[in-house]
């Protein structure tokens, strides 16, 4: 057995022992929303506009217990979904989850490695791979295999771990492994030793403080604790190594899905000289500077890649914005209340005019559709106010093709 096969077998054994994520099964649709798993909102984030088609093919690459798969199915009702994973035990949970929530007829589950996705027929418009590549023996080989299955005009959503924000975790992983000795690979033993360590360490200990402040709420479940502290394979990234991974894919980097985290002004915006110096850095140098200055915030990298041809909508000119057809973002947690969560899970309070405008946008999906300008006139909204809603990802825009063709 090769090293890669040994690692794959060890990873499968972990998830057979502790199916992950451990979210409970339910007969109801999954709670809350994640816009990154909605084809319309993810595509709009990447390109600025709503996609032209809805009957897309989606690959959930490393689906685990099917939590992500269930969201992909419920958030994309016209999509065909294929979900793969190494662990037979975890796949069984995923299949039951899809069956229970009534979406099993649109998904195909298959026990398959990322490295063998060439066996799957066809290409995919959206590939989702969350928390998977960093647990393989060869992430570059994995991302390249998946990239080959991305259709032209498709997008690829990826989540991998960050080394700087997980520094204490990596130390505890090594400490547990040392104490396990020959029992490494016995994951329940590893969980037991890890829990004993956190109990025994003094309260001021840095590893214990980080666990208590950041992770302990989710880690009360053994499945989460095992995934974090006794995983047999983990590769954590920094901006330089992440860039190498992205470049190896041959795809275009479309941006981090938490862009506000990657804005330098949140850290040193009060100092114009520092901002001026940073303005001379390229995009990836600025990202590196941010993670060096704020390491504990960068526990992971979540981002999109794409394969050309990908259109780009430009709403910087008022006439283009006013002519567009607006819709409500379908992934707003708390809607239709005026107090809700935005895409970064921050609480926002809508004015009465904003709420009325968004309500009109929610209804603006049937022909004849109305433009931003038409809805603004009915609801006392300014261009500035509409741009604010757009910046907060509360709106999706479609290009008015009739207006655009006449304009040209």
Residue pLDDT, tens place only, 56-89: 999 999 999 999 999 999 999 999 999 999 999 9
Question: Which percentage of the chain shows pLDDT scores above 90?
Answer: 92
What pLDDT, in 10s, does the model give residues 108-137? 999 999 999 999 999 999 999 999 999 999
H or E, element range at 9: helix 3-17
How many angstroms separate the CA atoms of 167 and 165, rounded? 6
What pLDDT, in 10s, does the model give residues 255-270? 999 999 999 999 999 9
Q: Report pLDDT for 402.
A: 55
Average pLDDT score over residue span 6-22: 94
What does the DSSP 8-state code read for residue 369? P
pLDDT at position 405 over 50: no
SS3 159: strand
The structure tokens listed for 26 are: 């339910």
Average pLDDT score over residue span 309-319: 95
Segments making up each domain of the chain, as ranges: 3-163+236-306, 164-229, 318-407
pLDDT at position 205 over 90: yes
Q: How many of the other CB atoms lie within 10 Å of CB of 264?
A: 18
Q: Out of 2.60.40.420, 2.170.120.40, 3.40.50.150, 3.40.50.1370, which CATH number does the structure's domain 3-163+236-306 have? A: 3.40.50.150
Q: Report pLDDT for 209.
A: 98
pTM of the model: 0.95
């Amino acid at each position: 057995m090769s090293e890669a096969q040994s690692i794959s077998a060890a990873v499968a054994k972990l998830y057979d022992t502790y199916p992950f994520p451990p979210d409970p099964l339910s007969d109801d649709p999954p709670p809350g929303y994640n816009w990154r798993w909605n084809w319309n909102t993810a595509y709009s984030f990447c390109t600025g506009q709503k996609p032209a088609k809805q009957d897309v093919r989606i690959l959930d690459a490393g689906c685990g217990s099917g939590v992500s798969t269930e969201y992909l199915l419920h958030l994309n009702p016209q999509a065909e979904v294929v979900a793969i994973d190494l662990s037979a035990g975890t796949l069984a949970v995923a299949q039951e989850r899809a069956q229970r929530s009534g979406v099993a007829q649109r998904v195909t589950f298959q026990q398959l490695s990322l490295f063998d996705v060439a066996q799957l027929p066809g290409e995919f418009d959206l590939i989702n791979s969350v928390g998977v590549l960093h647990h393989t023996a060869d992430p570059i080989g994995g991302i390249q295999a998946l990239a080959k299955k991305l259709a032209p005009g498709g997008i690829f959503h990826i989540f991998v771990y960050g080394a700087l924000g997980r520094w204490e975790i990596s130390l505890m992983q090594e400490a547990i492994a040392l104490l396990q000795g020959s029992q490494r690979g016995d994951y329940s033993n590893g969980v037991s030793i890890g829990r004993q360590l956190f109990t025994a360490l003094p309260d001021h200990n840095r590893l214990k403080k980080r666990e208590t402040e950041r992770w302990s709420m989710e880690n009360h479940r053994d499945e989460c604790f095992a995934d974090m502290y006794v995983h047999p394979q983990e590769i954590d990234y920094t901006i330089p190594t992440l860039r190498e991974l992205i470049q190896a894919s041959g795809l275009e980097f479309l941006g981090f899905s938490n862009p506000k985290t990657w804005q330098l002004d949140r850290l040193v915006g009060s100092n114009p000289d520092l901002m001026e110096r940073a303005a001379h850095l390229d995009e990836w140098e600025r990202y590196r500077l941010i993670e060096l200055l704020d390491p504990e915030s960068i526990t992971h990298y979540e981002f999109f890649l794409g394969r050309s041809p990908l259109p780009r909508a430009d709403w910087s000119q008022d006439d283009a914005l006013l002519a567009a057809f607006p819709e409500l973002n379908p992934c707003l947690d708390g809607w239709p209340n005026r107090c809700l969560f935005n895409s970064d899970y921050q609480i926002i309070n809508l004015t009465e005019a904003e709420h009325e405008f968004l309500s009109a946008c929610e209804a603006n999906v049937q022909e004849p559709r109305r433009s931003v300008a038409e809805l603004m006139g009915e609801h006392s909204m300014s261009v500035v106010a509409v741009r604010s809603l757009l910046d907060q990802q509360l709106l999706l825009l479609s290009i008015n093709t009739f207006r655009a063709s006449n304009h040209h």
